[in-house]
Amino acid sequence: MDTATLIESFADFARGKNIDRPTMIRILEDVFRAMVRKRYETDENFDVIINADKGDLEIWRFREIVDDNSEDIWDHDKISLTEAQKIEPDFEIGEEVAEEIKLEDFGRRTVMMARQTLIQKVKDLEKDILFQKYKDLVGEIIVGEVYQILSRELLLIDGEGNELIMPRSEQIPKDRFRKGESVRAIVHRVEMVNGNPRIIMSRTSEKFLERLFEMEVPEVYDGLIEMKNTVREPGERAKVAVASYDDRIDPVGACVGMKGSRIHSIVRELQNENIDVINFTDNLELYITRSLSPAKISSIKIDEDDKRVSVFLKPDQVSLAIGRGGQNIKLASRLVGYEIDVFRETLGLEADEDVDLDEFADEVESWVIDEFKKIGLDTAKSVLSLTKEELVRRTDLEEETVEDVLSILRQEFE
């Protein structure tokens, strides 16, 4: 393989990988200098001149002429007078010899290895470019096309054919994809695994929800509304605290839009995730109250040292504060950064007041409550009026279950 063919084939390959000309020249020079070092042990006194457009390569070796008996004769940048005169008969001591080294002098095997090295260097550079590109895109939304659905992950390709990976843990539980379908997700992280860039996408990240708000709400994109904090149970529920830098703008109203027009598209993208948008405030007590919406709080006790909050509510508000599966209180705790404990407000209850069994739904399973209702017991005191043995006999409940329920109900009136 001659010089022109080698350089031209590499240049074509590099251009196909979108490698710019200066980088291409640098790679060529690095490889040819490596060839020189392998044969001559050093490349300090060599010049490598490349013209990639024409496929030209010149390698020049420069050495100073010394006397045949000189102690420096074995230095890499010295040549004896006798050897120099073989190149040019009229050379004299002290002059510099410029000798051109031909590619063929390195041998066919070395040249073929150089070609493989060039191609590998471009591939490595391509991986580095991809890694840096997506590293700069972490936290941004990318649209990819589904090309393979695996049990543990979803494989996507971007517009340039690069592979993107979305693990099952980064997918919304209700997500169902088909091959060829376009998917929006956020670049979650980028890592190098065995020299190959691994681009991890996510639809469960809080950042994904924030970027969707930026896309749908111009005021958020323009910075007029700031998203102070975002917490999610992907596909189920989310809470977003927003603040406005313009007194004329209602941040909650702007994010929700007229008749929910803005937030509806976000909810659809997130598989009908229920999104609570609340006004951020530095008033911690008010912030906690808003975070537990739609429940109405009677009073709050804050322990800033332990980062805990005791919230007292009327019995009919407890289940609203806790939410289905404890989602509401869990998200509220994460939103405000305090552990929230919910208590029923029992002060003021008269001796003859009673509490509906449904108000205990957060502590007693619904099927257990239904068992009591079947025998006409629908309030706490009606259950407490019977003995444990009587309740076990009249219902299909285990003795241990009845004991647990009685304990919970008694605490209500203590």
User: At how many degrees (to 10) do helices 3-16 and 108-135 cross?
Assistant: 20
The total number of residues shown for the chain amounts to: 414
Q: Are residues 38 and 154 in the same domain?
A: no
**pLDDT value of position 56:** 75
Examine residue 12 and state whether it is found in any structural domain, yes or no: yes
Which residue from 318, 332, 330 is spatially nearest to 288, judged by alpha carbons? 332
Q: Are residues 29 and 86 in the same domain?
A: yes
> Hunting for tokens 């809080």 — which residue is that?
206
Q: Are residues 18 and 104 in the same domain?
A: yes
Tokens standing for residue 407: 């304990």
Tokens standing for residue 351: 């001796």
CATH number, domain at 108?
A: 3.30.1480
CB neighbour list of residue 144: distance below 8 Å, 6 or more residues apart:
156, 157, 158, 164, 182, 183, 185, 201
**pLDDT value of position 55:** 66
Reported pTM: 0.67
**pLDDT value of position 171:** 96
pLDDT along the chain (414 residues), means of 10: 67 71 82 86 88 76 89 86 88 89 79 79 85 94 94 92 94 93 96 92 96 95 94 95 91 92 93 94 93 89 90 85 88 94 66 75 86 82 84 84 88 76
Q: Are residues 116 and 10 in the same domain?
A: yes
Examine residue 259 and state whether it is found in any structural domain, yes or no: no
Which residue from 167, 203, 169 is spatially nearest to 183, judged by alpha carbons? 203
Tokens standing for residue 366: 């619904």
Q: Are residues 49 and 157 in the same domain?
A: no
Q: Are residues 102 and 18 in the same domain?
A: yes
**pLDDT value of position 351:** 44
Examine residue 253 and state whether it is found in any structural domain, yes or no: no
Examine residue 147 and state whether it is found in any structural domain, yes or no: yes
Q: What's the domain count of the chain?
A: 3
Q: Determine phi and psi for 235, rounding to 5 degrees.
A: 80, -10
Examine residue 317 and state whether it is found in any structural domain, yes or no: no
Examine residue 389 and state whether it is found in any structural domain, yes or no: yes
Q: Are residues 42 and 120 in the same domain?
A: yes
Q: Are residues 157 and 114 in the same domain?
A: no
Range(s) of the domain holding residue 369: 357-413
Q: Are residues 36 and 92 in the same domain?
A: yes
Examine residue 168 and state whether it is found in any structural domain, yes or no: yes
